[in-house]
Amino acid sequence: MKPIIKKGSKLYSIAHLKCPRCQEGNLFSVSNSYDIKHMLDMPEHCPVCHEDFKVEPGFYSGALWISYPIVIFILIPLVLVQILCFGFSFVLAFFISLILLLVLQPLLMRYSRAIWINLFVSFKAH
């Protein structure tokens, strides 16, 4: 069976949180997204191809522009489903959705960084 997301695509690098250049090295030092103290720790360079992950100071602040639409994309449908399907009030649905987004925040932050670096670095086969 062939994998759905093939190596060499940006989507592969993002989905697997791998180096955008070689798609083998890990983007993050710790694999556990919920290790709050180290969830955003990244190595200086890819351990495989030595791509620089610290492009410039403040580089990953641009990932905020990625995470905001993702949060909105999750929040609005989630609130609407709770209101329309379950009859929750807007306040209750919004509160439940915010709690869920808070739980998902470490993942959202990591994937936003992965998307951001993939906008600037392309895959190169060995």
Tell me what percent of the residues of the chain surpass a pLDDT of 90: 90
Task: Dump pLDDT digits (tens) for 4-15.
Answer: 888 899 999 999
Going by the DSSP 8-state scheme, the letter that residue 9 receives in this structure is: S
Confirm if 48 and 22 have CB atoms less than 8 A apart: yes
Q: Which helix (H) or strand (E) holds 99?
A: helix 90-120
Cα gap 101→32, rounded to integer Å: 18
Q: Give the C-alpha distances (Å, rounded to integers) separating 118 from 70, 75, 89, 100.
A: 16, 25, 39, 27
Task: Dump pLDDT digits (tens) for 51-79.
Answer: 999 989 999 999 999 999 999 999 999 99
Domain ranges of the chain: 10-120
SS (H, E, C) 17-41: CECCCCCCCECCCCCCCCCCCCCCC
